[in-house]
């Protein structure tokens, strides 16, 4: 114990930096911390990003055609190719959503619940809401990386006779990916601040799984109009509460020429969900951190 502490008395009234300057520096440093942690765990990150899409694509686009299990309405190779095209958009959307949950919700639930390690970042010299936003930005960056990693899989892994008909609409793709990443990591913030670590399994069972299966991963939303009760396409209406549907439909619009939900619906809803989840997440974050 020698010199560092001797300078303490100099840090008294007046020597503080402006709140804005300090906040900006702290915000950048928080991102730096999150990215450093990501880099450390890059192997695990990549593996965890790949495993689900790999399995989906492997089973549906390789195993199924090989064993003659019918997909795509049982119209043989052309049906299977059409299904492959549907699935690629779904898999990319799903991967981004899982990042939001794995990169934001799971760590936060732990940091709030057991370890309280979020406290040191909350005590950094910036408004608490910015700490929450920093989490979302870091999560969104991971979502972006995940999207980039996942694309090639869907392209590469499938049985020989299957053809994936992709036609990339770049303006849609390049705007959709960031919006989808921010929306899903904001959703991660909401879940991470509202769900206690004890209930993580409940979250997977009752939120993540239904979202996955009813999120347009395996089918285009437009085709759900065929599921009717008394002339009312109830399933098509019901899944509209699922945020994932707008992401997968968006990727369908961005990557294929197949039918999809109208872009006039997709963009406004995704942007509205960004605002809603971000707001709810920040409120939840402040509530968990401040008394």
The residues of the shown chain that bind another protein, judged by CB under 8 A, are 1-14, 16-17, 19, 21-23, 25-26, 29-30, 32-33, 36-37, 40, 115-128, 289-291
The residue written with tokens 């009312």 in the block is 232
Please measure the distance between the N-terminal and C-terminal CA atoms of the chain and give it in whole angstroms: 35
Q: Report, in Å, the least distance between residue 113 CB and another protein.
A: 12
Q: Report, in Å, the least distance between residue 142 CB and another protein.
A: 14
| Choice between 9 and 231, CB closer to another protein | 9
| Choice between 14 and 231, CB closer to another protein | 14
- From 84, 52, 86, select the one nearest 65 (Cα to Cα): 84
Hey, what are 218's tokens? 């395996």
Q: Report, in Å, the least distance between residue 98 CB and another protein.
A: 19
| Choice between 125 and 233, CB closer to another protein | 125
Q: Report, in Å, the least distance between residue 291 CB and another protein.
A: 4
Instruction: Work out the number of other CB atoms within 10 angstroms of the CB of residue 276.
Output: 15
Backbone φ and ψ of 188, nearest 5° = -60, -40
| Choice between 29 and 280, CB closer to another protein | 29
Backbone φ and ψ of 229, nearest 5° = -125, 120
Backbone φ and ψ of 138, nearest 5° = -65, -40
Beta bridge pairs of residue 232: 229
C-beta of residue 61 within 8 angstroms of C-beta of residue 84: yes
- From 207, 194, 278, 218, select the one nearest 242 (Cα to Cα): 207
| Choice between 7 and 67, CB closer to another protein | 7
- From 268, 287, 118, 105, select the one nearest 192 (Cα to Cα): 105
C-beta of residue 189 within 8 angstroms of C-beta of residue 181: no
Q: Report, in Å, the least distance between residue 1 CB and another protein.
A: 4
| Choice between 32 and 209, CB closer to another protein | 32
Q: Report, in Å, the least distance between residue 194 CB and another protein.
A: 18
């Amino acid at each position: 114990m020698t010199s560092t502490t001797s300078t303490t008395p100099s840090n008294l009234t007046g020597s503080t930096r402006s709140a804005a300057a300090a906040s900006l520096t702290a915000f950048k440093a928080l991102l730096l911390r999150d990215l450093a942690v990501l880099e450390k765990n890059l192997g695990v990150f990549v593996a965890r990003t790949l495993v689900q899409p790999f399995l989906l694509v492997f089973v549906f686009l390789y195993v199924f055609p090989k064993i003659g299990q019918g997909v795509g309405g049982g119209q043989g190779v052309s049906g299977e190719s059409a299904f492959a095209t549907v699935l690629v958009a779904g898999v990319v959307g799903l991967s981004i959503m899982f990042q939001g949950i794995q990169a934001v919700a799971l760590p936060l639930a732990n940091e709030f619940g057991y370890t309280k390690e979020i406290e040191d970042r909350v005590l950094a010299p910036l408004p608490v809401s910015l700490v929450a936003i920093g989490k979302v930005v870091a999560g969104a960056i991971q979502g972006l990386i995940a999207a980039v990693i996942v694309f090639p899989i869907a392209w590469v892994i499938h049985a020989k006779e299957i053809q994936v008909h992709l036609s990339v609409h770049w303006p849609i793709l390049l705007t959709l990916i960031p919006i989808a990443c921010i929306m899903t990591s904001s959703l991660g913030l909401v879940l991470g601040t509202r769900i206690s670590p004890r209930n993580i399994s409940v979250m997977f069972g009752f939120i993540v799984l239904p979202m996955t299966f009813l999120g347009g991963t395996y089918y285009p939303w437009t085709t759900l109009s065929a599921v009717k009760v008394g002339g009312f396409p109830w399933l098509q209406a019901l899944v509209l509460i699922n945020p994932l549907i707008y992401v997968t439909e968006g990727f369908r619009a961005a990557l294929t020429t197949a039918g999809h939900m109208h872009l006039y619906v997709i963009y406004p809803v995704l942007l509205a969900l960004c605002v809603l989840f971000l707001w709810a997440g920040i409120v939840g974050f402040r509530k968990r951190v401040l008394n």
